[in-house]
Amino acid sequence: MEINKAIRDIMKSKGMSLSSMGKSLRKVDKKSGLTSSLSGNDVSARLNNSNMTFDKAVEMLNILGYEIVLQEKRQGGRRSDQIVIDQFSVNG
């Protein structure tokens, strides 16, 4: 599963809207240095970007109460609450 779809699925399961996620995320204005919330459209654009940065994914997962864990591949089944990310483009 791609990281964007996993985050979207987790948001849906937790009942979190795009605007709620946006209120938890911050962006910095490069000119003024001031911070503000992201809009729901900003969050949607982030989730639709197939090349989301690692930092942005971690930021969103942290808000959702999730973490990224690396482990050696193993044979057999996984717990039902585990999600395997098999596609992730790292930019940041």
Instruction: Give per-residue pLDDT as tens, 19-56.
Output: 999 999 987 777 888 888 899 999 999 999 888 888 99
Distance of CA 46 to the CA centre of its chain: 8
Residue 89, pLDDT > 60, answer no
What is the rounded CA–CA span in Å between residue 34 and residue 22?
Answer: 16
Hey, which bits of 1-92 come out as E strands? Answer: 26-28, 35-37
Query: How confident is the prediction for the chain on average, in pLDDT?
Result: 86
pTM of the full predicted structure?
Answer: 0.79
